[in-house]
Amino acid sequence: MNGELFPRGSMDLATGAVHVPDWLDLAAQRELVTACRAWARPPAGLRTVRMPHGGEMSVRQVCLGWHWFPYGYARTVADGGGEPVKPFPPWLGDLARKAVAEAYGRASTEPYDIALVNFYDAGASMGLHRDSDEWSDAPVVSLSLGDTCVFRFGNTETRTRPWTDVELRSGDLFVFGGPSRLAYHGVPRTRPGTAPPELGLTGRLNITLRVSGLDG
Ligand SMILES: O=C(O)CCC(=O)C(=O)O
Ligand SMILES: [Fe+2]
């Protein structure tokens, strides 16, 4: 229990929004970090996302399966060098279905085909947004590695309160689907230096697994 005053149990933040602390053990976290390092390499590797009205996201990103850019998906790095996006490995789909099954207590057969890997250095954050570029209402599966962050989970109507802030730590799972699928959410800050030392990661990685609802 890591000397916690209050144990971190699985918790529903809203209908369909479930936080499962410590879902990945250290070995699984290490495997994912190793995979992320390989995915981050060019071609179609880690990049800075430029927003349509100028400005850049502070989080750097690499995509698997489908390339996300503001605001849509393509099979190539359409807003960059045009290289083909890296493939989405089938084992990540299995991991996503296992996550949904455990978070919701039901079987999952959803065809996961997108991974967005976000890298947060010490100063990085992500503003409140909705994951609304997919054509499927399958739940989004989010895995956290490295530094702890403050994850803000809001409502489906507005970018403003009510919201709930929750700490996502290395190994935590967060799933949002059903009535929460289009809720606003973001990462106001990370807590630099809180990553488990055994992971060998400086900063925070977040992997979101999604179903595109797009053909082939
Ligand atoms: O880093 C996180 O925990 C959230 C990432 C996110 O919301 C996204 O990639 O759309
Ligand atoms: Fe998101």
The string of pLDDT tens digits covering residues 134-157 is: 999 999 999 999 999 999 999 999
Cα–Cα distance for residue pair 211/204, rounded to 1 Å: 23
pTM exceeds 0.90: yes
Q: Is the CB of 115 under 6 A from ligand 1?
A: no
205 Cβ closer than 6 Å to some ligand 1 atom:
no
* ipTM for the predicted complex: 0.99
Q: Which residues of the chain have pLDDT under 50?
A: 1
Q: Using a 6 Å cutoff on CB, does residue 142 contact ligand 1? A: yes
153 near 163, Cβ under 8 Å?
yes
State pLDDT tens for residues 151-187.
999 999 999 999 999 999 999 999 999 999 999 999 9
Which of 142, 148, 175, 176 is the pocket-test mutation for ligand 1 (most atoms within 8 Å of CB)? Answer: 142
Return the residue whose CA atom lies nearest to atom 3 of ligand 1: 206
CB of 123 within 8 A of CB of 193? no
Residue 208 CA to ligand 1 centre (angstroms): 7
Question: Chain centroid to CA 39: how far?
Answer: 15
- Is any ligand 1 atom within 6 A of the Cβ of residue 117? no
Tokens at 168, concatenated: 């996502």
5-32 in b/e form (b: 16+ CB < 10 A) is: eeebeeeebbebbbbbbebbeeeebbeb
Domains, the chain: 12-210 (2.60.120.590)
156 to each of 20, 145, 167, how far by Cα in Å? 21, 26, 20
